[in-house]
Structure 1
């Protein structure tokens, strides 16, 4: 055989072995890959949570504001009991005491004018004023007016309803009642002295009665003023 034929025969015999070697090498690579993939993955350590800074404000949890505004409360379901008689008595007392206060101030003013005119009348008749009787009508009219106002004021305070019980104690109301009681006694004394003085016209005792009438008039004015002062202040 020639040399060329020998070379071709060797190449033909070597070709199957080369192919088998290449195929075996390719099949070995997936096995190695699967061997690597069968190993469990390494566990990664968890990262520590970030800590807030020390000077950061602390957030407080807000209360639960989820509630029903239309839900009726037990107090709303129970109606309040109103006593109509009590309400009526309170309204009547408020009205009567308001009038009592207004008439009281009017009484004080009128009584002061009565005392002033009474002093002028006293000077005219008993202290050398000429006894002209020019103050008689003024004095009589003021006496009637002040007595009427004083009586009306007293009745309003006396008959005003008292819906609530009040314990007896020393306060401005108690002092007001005390001074008004003294003023009432003075007014009654004035009326009696006025009638008696008129019946002693022309007698020596008339001067003494008129002087007593004058003194009681000033004392009565002072008691009414003190009583009004207790209410105002």
Structure 2
């Protein structure tokens, strides 16, 4: 696939259109690249390549639909168990995406935040992730949260460990530990919890993704595979979200969700 066929972002493309009904934070489990490829007799890597194109569409659509935070489950901690060749293909696509698209993201005022375990990552991958964060830190547009080498259980364990260390060192009293303290020690500290979690490919599970943060999120499971995800699919998920009443465990819907 030549670079001329890849859609690019511009600042005007990324300007929000003022849609007020959109959730503040949408998280997406991008599932189905391999099945998309298999259904067409193509190698899995082609499904992953087309998945990168869908990622670009998702970021652009998030801007156009007024979403302020978009979290994408790009690579889970469990994905390392996949065949070595497939993991290598995924790492190469990440390298290509960061090198080719970071400038366009920056131009569009997108702010990149990476969550997940960084210890043990290949040095060049770690460098690219850190460069993306550093280069876009001052931007004021959409916050793109990339969940890479991420697992919800691992994140909570790491948070508990940091809290235990703070108690041990006398910096935190055990009785002061509450929901807010735990949230402040997660990778997503200072990022609002997702209002909506979308999963493609029709699977009805969350696969260790944002376990703490999704406590009161709405879920939409779309039957299409991730490479087919586009603005229309995004709008379908948002329409489903907007039709629901969010009660957060109460008897009446809460305003301003």
Give the TM-score, by structure 1 length: 0.22
Determine which structure has more spread, i.e. the larger CA radius of gyration: 1
The structure that is strand-richer by fraction is 2
Give the TM-score, by structure 2 length: 0.21
Larger relative contact order (Cα-Cα within 8 Å, sequence gap ≥ 6): 2
The structure that is helix-richer by fraction is 1
